[in-house]
Amino acid sequence: MITTILLYILFTILYGLMTPFTFLPNASLPSAFTDAITSASSYISALNDFIPVSTLLTIIGLVVVIEIAVNSFILINWAIKKIPTIG
């Protein structure tokens, strides 16, 4: 019950922060960008038969996310240790 209230409060805050963005008009990329993405996608899918490009990109993305998490943890611990009353 308490977690429901906390989640509702969090949802309300996030919804309130995102409300101004709903008034912005929808935008799309220029056609040159979408054509480039389509061409790159076709090249990658053709190359995917020989080299698992999508798997490699997934692994690289996962490594980047893990590195960001570890560095964030280190930064937060460093900030906590710099405050004399907390650490």
- Which pLDDT score is estimated for 11? 93
Cβ count near 30 (within 10 Å): 8
Q: How confident is the model at residue 73 (pLDDT cuts 50, 70, 90)?
A: very high
pLDDT digits (tens, 9 = 90+) for 26-52: 878 788 998 998 998 888 888 888 888
Rounded Cα–Cα distance for residues 79 and 87 (Å): 9
What pTM was computed for the model? 0.48
Q: Among residues 48, 47, 25, 45, which one has the least CA distance to residue 37?
A: 45
Q: Which two tokens stand for residue 23?
A: 């008034």
Q: Which amino acid is at 40?
A: A
Task: Tell me how far the alpha carbon of residue 82 is from its chain's centroid.
Answer: 28
**In the chain, where the domains are located:** 52-87
Q: How confident is the model at residue 24 (pLDDT cuts 50, 70, 90)?
A: confident
The per-residue pLDDT for 72 is: 96
Tokens of 41: 């996608």
